[in-house]
Chain A
Amino acid sequence: DIQMTQSPSILSASLGDRVTITCRASQSLNGWLAWYQQKPGKAPKLLIYRVSNLEDGVPSRFSGSGSETDFTLTISSLQPDDLATYYCQQYLRYRTFGQGTKVEVK
């Protein structure tokens, strides 16, 4: 099974800050990496697919990068609507989620 390790678990930042979340896979994913946003009581929402492709309707302040086993989700300027939990997910073989990163206001 492919394991996904995400960090940090909790990220405290100020509105307007640049925020970075990292995700590491136990093997190379050949680009099969996505990022999701989830708000309390809601289903997850796809933000980025294939490492760096922005899903339709997702603000351009979100970006993804990385390769092989190491990946990053960046929010260029944290907005109130971005306070949520973020998950990376591999889909090279079946699917596996990272443990999640809760983004909160400092």
Chain B
Amino acid sequence: EVQLVESGGGLVTPGGSLRLSCAASGFTFKNTWMSWVRQAPGKGLEWVGRIKSISDDGTTGYAAPVKDRFIISRDDSKDTVYLHMNSLKTEDTAVYYCTTDQTRSDVWGQGTLVTVSS
């Protein structure tokens, strides 16, 4: 079964850090570009960033609100992509989804909730 499972969400204080994980199964992860998308409570979808496959140079790109604070990495030996979040702000509170970055038949995880609050 093709699947993505996020983990690592929780409550963090402003200025803190958190690392989200997304474990993939059922497809060839190492050849797949991966993205993170978030959704603040009651709001729309917001693309966070993506990482290319290593064979396509493995580079990353980020949305302006998270650039220089968030880092996406991948471990193809574990079929896992990570979202390292630093200097967290209250406005980063959201459900974070990982998804395959592809034109069609994309796969989404169930999401993990990150709450930034004092």
A8 → chain B, closest Cβ, in Å? 14
8 additional contacts (CB under 8 A) given A44-B97, A100-B45: A1-B64, A43-B110, A44-B45, A46-B104, A87-B44, A94-B47, A95-B37, A97-B47
- Contact call A100/B44, Cβ cutoff below 8 A: yes
Per-residue 0/1 for B22-58: is the Cβ within 8 Å of any A Cβ (1 yes, 0 no)?
0000000000000101000000111100100000000
Contact, CB under 8 Å: A91 / B44: no
Which 8 pairs between the two chains have the least Cβ-Cβ distance? A43-B108, A95-B47, A100-B44, A97-B45, A49-B104, A94-B61, A99-B44, A49-B103
Asked whether A20 is an interface residue with its Cβ less than 8 Å from the other chain, the reply is: no
Q: Please give, as numbers and ranges, the residues of chain A lying within 8 Å of B106 by CB-CB distance.
A: 46
Cβ contact within 8 Å between A96 and B47: yes
Count of chain A residues with a beta carbon within 8 Å of a chain B beta carbon: 24
| Cβ contact within 8 Å between A53 and B97 | no
What residues on B are CB-neighbors of A99 within 8 Å?
Answer: 44
1/0 contact string of A82-94 vs chain B (CB within 8 Å) = 0001010101001
Q: A1-B64, A97-B45, A97-B47 are in contact. Are A43 and B109 (CB under 8 A)?
A: yes
| Interface hits, B54-82 → A, CB 8 Å | 61, 63-64
Contact A91 B103 (CB under 8 A): yes
Tell me the minimal C-beta distance from B36 to chain A in angstroms. 10
| B105-A43 in contact (CB<8A) | no
B44 to chain A: closest residue by CB? A100
